[in-house]
């Protein structure tokens, strides 16, 4: 009787070296970034040490938005070309993006508690990010319950496109409703980073680089896992068919 071990070893890793490297470099950068955030960057005048949450909050939010942008592009790619690799990339990016967005929301709430005296307000950025989190959390639900075969991937791709296009509209509607979030300090009309002390900007950029690298590596690893799961499922199916044929030959 054939077992999985008998057959050719599965190579679904696709050379995971660059991903491991990304984790290492990203992790080291994150350590450096945390050092710079806590010891190198000067203490903010009004918010004091609470401001240091900024060095986690902004990179996490950035990585989350980047992930959902990738989901949008991969979703279009999947519906257009029907290549499974786009679907898997979208799924991996959704999962990692939800993690980073959760981190951004939690760190923002902690900061808000220190700076505003409240964990949560219905400010445009907060509300938009929260709705964004909902859309992609639901997208994970669609993947889990979406039905047989490629259907769940197709539905998640539809949601990935519709949800991404909805974000500006959500933001506009909440801006019309109310606004309280601190204004941008990095990308401003007075010049890049003009709202920040240079050491603060350096600490922020190191953290942004670390989180971006970690996002790329983590979603790469997750995609490799999904590819491997696909390969195992295909191998099982193949084996099941082979055993079925053997059994029928046996009874003959």
Residues at the interface with another protein (CB under 8 A) = 79, 127, 131, 134-135, 138, 141-142, 145-147, 151-152, 154-155, 157-159, 161-163, 165-166, 169-170, 172-174, 176-177
Q: How far is the CB of 154 from another protein (least distance, A)?
A: 6
How many degrees, rounded to 5, is the angle at CA 114 between CA 112 and CA 120?
A: 25
- How far apart CA 70 and CA 64 sit, in angstroms, is 10
- Reading phi first (left if > 0) and then psi (alpha if -120 to 50, else beta), residue 15 is in left
Q: How far is the CB of 197 from another protein (least distance, A)?
A: 37
- Nearest residue (CB) to another protein, 25 versus 131: 131
- Nearest residue (CB) to another protein, 118 versus 151: 151
Alpha helices in the chain (DSSP H): 17-35, 54-81, 84-115, 124-145, 151-177, 198-251
Q: How far is the CB of 90 from another protein (least distance, A)?
A: 14
- Nearest residue (CB) to another protein, 18 versus 134: 134
- Nearest residue (CB) to another protein, 148 versus 191: 148
Q: How far is the CB of 157 from another protein (least distance, A)?
A: 7
Q: How far is the CB of 135 from another protein (least distance, A)?
A: 5
CB-CB contact of 10 with 167 (8 Å): no
Q: How far is the CB of 130 from another protein (least distance, A)?
A: 9
At 235, phi and psi to the nearest 5? Answer: -65, -40
Q: How far is the CB of 31 from another protein (least distance, A)?
A: 36
CB-CB contact of 42 with 199 (8 Å): yes
- How far apart CA 3 and CA 87 sit, in angstroms, is 29
- Nearest residue (CB) to another protein, 47 versus 131: 131
- How far apart CA 185 and CA 129 sit, in angstroms, is 19
CB-CB contact of 159 with 149 (8 Å): no
- Nearest residue (CB) to another protein, 35 versus 134: 134
- Nearest residue (CB) to another protein, 171 versus 197: 171
**Alpha-carbon Rg of the chain, whole angstroms?**
23
């Amino acid at each position: 009787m054939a077992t999985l071990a008998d057959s050719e070893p599965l190579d679904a890793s696709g050379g995971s070296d660059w991903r491991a490297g990304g984790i290492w470099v990203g992790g080291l950068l994150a350590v450096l970034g945390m050092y710079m955030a806590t010891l190198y960057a000067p203490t903010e005048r009004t918010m004091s040490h609470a401001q240091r949450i900024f060095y986690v909050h902004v990179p996490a939010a950035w990585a989350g938005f980047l992930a959902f942008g990738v989901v949008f592009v991969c979703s279009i790619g999947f519906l257009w070309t029907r290549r499974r690799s786009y679907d898997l990339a979208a799924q991996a990016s959704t999962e990692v993006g939800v993690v980073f967005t959760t981190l951004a929301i939690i760190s923002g709430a902690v900061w808000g508690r220190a700076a505003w005296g409240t964990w949560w307000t219905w400010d445009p950025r907060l509300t938009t990010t929260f709705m964004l989190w909902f859309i992609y959390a639901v997208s994970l639900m669609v993947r889990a319950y979406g039905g047989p075969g490629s259907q769940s991937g197709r539905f998640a791709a539809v949601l990935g496109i519709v949800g991404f296009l909805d974000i500006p509209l959500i933001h506009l509607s909440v801006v019309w409703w109310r606004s309280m979030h601190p204004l941008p300090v990095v990308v401003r009309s007075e010049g890049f980073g003009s709202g920040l002390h240079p050491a603060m900007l350096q600490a922020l950029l190191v953290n942004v680089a670390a989180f971006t690298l970690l996002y790329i590596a983590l979603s790469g690893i997750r995609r490799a896992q999904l590819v491997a799961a696909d390969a195992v499922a295909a191998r099982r199916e193949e084996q099941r068919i082979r055993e079925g044929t053997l059994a029928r030959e046996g009874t003959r």
